[in-house]
Amino acid sequence: MLERLREIVGTAHVLTGADMAGYDADWSGHKRGTPLAVVRPGTTQEVAAIVKLANETGTPIVPQAGNTGLTDATEAGGAILLSVGRMNRIREVRASSRIAIVEAGAILSSIHDAVAEHGLIFPLYFGARGSAMIGGALSTNAGGSNVLRYGNTRDLCLGIEAVMPNGDIVDLMRQLHKDNSGYDLRHLLIGAEGTLGIITAAVLKLHPAPLATATAMVAVPRVADALDLLNRLQQETGGAVQAFEYMPRAYMETYLELSPAHREPFEGRHDVNILVEVGAIAPRDATPDASGQIPIAAHLEEVLGALFEEEAILAAVVAQNEAQRSEMWARREAAAEVITLHEPYADRDIAVPVDRMQEFVDAVAAIIARLDPGARDVSVAHLGDGNMHLGVFPTRPDAALCTEIGNAVEDAALALGGSFSAEHGIGLSKQPSMIRYKSPTALAAMRAIKAALDPNGIMNPGKVLPPV
């Protein structure tokens, strides 16, 4: 097996033993099962040859991109771990049609830099963008902080190229905004976490880069008031709000514990802190006036001032320069480090309807009060799209208690019409939730699709779908 893999990709790109370090552990350093080998193909044709060999020998194959996932979806004990890291070319940026054609191993920040030269953005932003690859983002239908304005990864992809479980290459690299020619295999493979095929390239949808941004920290009395704030800002700016992020008091305190050199967002302390960013596309909103003030920033200050006079908000600070904007974003983008600062911890990736977020926050507080009074809730949320990343530090190192808290929170989310997985995927870690909450009919349909496309069960086996 190893010799045949070397014939496909070259000896230097088949790693075993100590050379697999970094591939066989998650981003936090927790070790996973030991792969048979790490194989690093350089082309789609090499991926196809590897998958054909895996089919022939009945060997499991697990695709891996930037290894920044949070659900153990790339656990590969005894399997071929296929890393797409060498397939990292940005093949083409076509500014006139606002698309980029990239390979699966292209790092998000590299895509951002490449399209910025054309005055465009690929608006998928999250903390791990410096190492996360587009193949992984597509495989999990990643979200991030700009979903409110631009949508999830699925909304930002026009076409894909993929290797199917039998090793055949399917070319779905359409550059069309409309294509109703049968089942949408692109959408089927996006979010499937490599269980139905391996995405090797994609056509990405680009957007005009904002000519100016206005960023602010705003404190409101309650989470419900934040929704009123969002709706007011959307109305006042013509729907230009591109980020609306929630950080509670306990999160702020833990962030300062993690980063003592940083400061509070306001002079006083508040329970509900919102990071809001508005992007201006039109020159009239971005061209400085005679005093040097940018219209979009001036308008945001004006709207927030009026809301303060109405007592709809408690405090607001608008960034006056890029350094202040970066400071505001640094608080939010430290979420992964904040939530994992103390172990064990309860974490979940929850979505609820945006108008029920206050009920959900209240339900989480009641759960903590019932199961572990004194536990610290450091949850954060993409509040504009109803996605909360739960983080709870229990008062004692009890993993079973963390599971109990997490399960109770999921129960509360589902009772409000929510989901137990908003943007991180399923992998291995959320399979118990799939069993608890997913419709048996839906699971049966998913298993039928998996069996039809991957009859030998070699593609990332054991992930997403719980065992029967």
What is the CB neighbour count within 10 angstroms for residue 429? 19
| CATH 3.30.1020.10 correct for 212-335 | no
CA-based max dimension of the chain: 73
CA distance 72 to 68: 10
In the chain, CATH 3.30.70.2190 covers 212-335
Contact at 8 Å (CB) between 340 and 378? no
Residue 112 one-letter amino acid: H
Q: Which CATH class is domain 90-208?
A: alpha beta
In the chain, CATH 3.30.465.10 covers 90-208
CA distance 186 to 173: 9
CA distance 297 to 239: 15
**Separation in Å, CA 65 to CA 112, 134, 143, 320:** 17, 8, 16, 37
Per-residue pLDDT of the chain (468 residues; tens, 9 = 90+): 999 999 999 999 999 999 999 898 877 667 788 999 999 999 999 999 999 999 999 999 999 999 999 899 999 999 999 999 999 999 999 999 999 999 999 999 999 999 999 999 999 999 899 999 999 999 999 999 999 999 999 999 999 999 999 999 999 999 999 999 999 999 999 999 999 999 999 999 999 999 999 999 999 999 999 999 999 999 999 999 999 999 999 999 999 998 888 889 999 999 999 999 999 999 999 999 988 899 999 999 999 999 999 999 999 999 999 999 999 999 999 998 999 888 899 999 999 999 999 999 999 999 999 999 999 999 999 999 999 999 999 999 999 999 999 999 999 999 999 999 999 999 999 999 999 999 999 999 999 999 999 999 999 999 999 988
CA distance 391 to 460: 28
CA distance 262 to 292: 28
Q: Which of helix, strand or coil describes residue 119?
A: coil
Nearest CA to 236 out of 284, 288, 186, 304 is that of 304
What is the CB neighbour count within 10 angstroms for residue 342? 15
Written as six digits, the tokens of 231 are 């709706």
CATH architecture assignment, domain 342-424: 2-Layer Sandwich (3.30)
In the chain, CATH 3.30.43.10 covers 2-83
Q: Give strand pairing partners of 201.
A: 103, 161
In the chain, CATH 3.30.70.2740 covers 342-424
Q: What's the pTM?
A: 0.94
Q: Which CATH class is domain 2-83?
A: alpha beta
